[in-house]
Structure 1
Amino acid sequence: MKLPFTREQFLEVFHKYNISVYPLQVLLLLLAVLTIMIIYRGSKRQQKMVPIILATFWIWMGIVYHIGYFSAINKVAYLFGMLFILQGIFFLHYGLKKFPLFTFQKNIRSITSVLLLIYALIFYPLTGHFAGHDYPYSPTFGLPCPTTIFTLAVFLLTQPRIPFYLSIIPLLWSIIGFSAAFSLGIYEDAGLIVSAFAFSALYFLNGKRPQPF
């Protein structure tokens, strides 16, 4: 894949983003931890917050990262930004109109979800460290790739399973983000394609019929 920017330019975007928004990326990480706590111990009413938190992540990535920073080296980022904002709106619609239930169970979906959550929050940055992508030249949580892995992991915990339209943009980004970042040596993004494959397989092979829009 021929990209309109170099590896150095790509890492510099992370550098500028991380320096400029600090310490907000810490808050985004804490929101991710809060999401897991709500799923594990929260009441059904508290779980209404999960889609709203996911909406916050995706709207943030669309406006701040894609449009605010990534667009400086890739004009297609404006399109990415609009898609991410749209995904955030989808989450708001789902969270406010539906009453989703998220739960950890003793099944393959939950086990896979836990592994992906651990990867997104812990092993993603560790893999980046060993690949030479140290802060601030690293994709912190709240940037598209680790947050997409986290999102797909949360999807696996929904009861009943989510409407398929909610997964289209995250799955598309998994393919786009993986193909671009991996060609630039961002090897931690291998988790994108793994999470997309795992989610897709479990969605279609282990669940009820999709809910209507």
Structure 2
Amino acid sequence: MTSTLPGYFISFEGIDGAGKSTHIDSFCKLMKERFPSREVVLTREPGGTPLGEQLRSLLLDAPMNLETEALLMFAARREHIAQVIEPALLAGKVVISDRFTDASFAYQGGGRGLSISKLNDLEKWVQGRPDGSILQPNLTILFDLPGEIAEARRSKVRAPDKFEKMNLDFFDKVRQEYLRRANENPQRFHLVDATKTPDAIWSELEAIQIHL
């Protein structure tokens, strides 16, 4: 059972290089214009809190055991939920997060091969609410892109973190796990063909119907 809170929760997802970061700030501005009576909170994972940002620097650069990596991701997420996401949703705000739990399934599960059942257990524990529901986004916008195109895009930007340095096979597995999650939750996911031009993608984002 997915949690129902007064606010509205949107996550942006996709493999590194898919282009989600190109549009998230503009989408946040669009939500502010469309819903002027609602405060819009833009955040990210891993991160979003002082502790989460410290963990982010470790997670993106320090080598570590796979299970340690997953546990730290969910530890950062627990703090993020407790300090930022849940209070904002309870106050009726719109929360837009650059990545959420689908990223853990895609990267630690699909890419790195951690047991999906372990990730399911962590998801229930970290995102469980007192009413028995599980906190999930109302809408997840997934930028879907073949790994080889994403790889070419990544090579043109900043110095890569440890995930961005991974090979094409890793990102193909990440992509497939994202698509598995989307197929299991079609009511939550909006799939964007990220091979399209930025203008075409933005037109599609503008057309998404959100009812608060």
TM-score, normalisation: structure 1: 0.35
TM-score, normalisation: structure 2: 0.35
Q: Going by fraction, where is strand more abundant, 1 or 2?
A: 2
Q: Going by fraction, where is helix more abundant, 1 or 2?
A: 1
Q: Which has the higher contact order (CA 8 A, sep 6+)?
A: 2
